[in-house]
Amino acid sequence: MEVIFWIRFIIGACLIAMGLGIFFVEIFGLFKFKYVLNRMHAAAMGDTLGLGSMILGLIVINGVNFVSLKLFCVILFLWIASPVASHLMAQMEVETNKDLNEYEEIENVSVLEEDKEGGKANA
């Protein structure tokens, strides 16, 4: 019985360590990238996978009871709410930045236009 407790604790600790690693990657990306819309990729990762794996580890350690159910509700709520928050932040950035084209350059625009014209000609 004691061995089962140890195994459960080690599995949970591995999941929590994985969550911490994902949080570290998130913050590394927050300082690595140059622009908000790029940073948002890193920031959205921690909200879903980082917190998800971390609370899953806590549930494994805690066992099946009401606290685990509430923690699972936290995961469920954040998986619904976090994409909405990310969408709102990206919408705010796009609406309030007048110089957005400086960061959103598309390379080889001429190739794309040629493709479009070719498609029209074929049609």
Binding site for another protein (CB under 8 A): 1-2, 4-6, 8-9, 13, 16, 19-20, 23-24, 26-27, 30-31, 36, 39-40, 43, 46-47, 50-51, 54-55, 58, 61-67, 70-71, 73-74, 77-78, 81-82, 84-85, 88-89, 91-93, 95-99
Tell me whether residue 91 or residue 114 sits nearer to another protein (CB atom): 91
- CA–CA gap between residue 116 and residue 106 (Å, rounded): 15
Tell me whether residue 4 or residue 109 sits nearer to another protein (CB atom): 4
- CA–CA gap between residue 8 and residue 57 (Å, rounded): 9
- CA–CA gap between residue 76 and residue 29 (Å, rounded): 25
Q: How far is the CB of 107 from another protein (least distance, A)?
A: 24
CA 56 to the chain's CA centroid: 16
Tell me whether residue 92 or residue 112 sits nearer to another protein (CB atom): 92
Q: How far is the CB of 121 from another protein (least distance, A)?
A: 41
Q: Which amino acid is at 37?
A: L
In the block, tokens 């796009």 appear at: 94
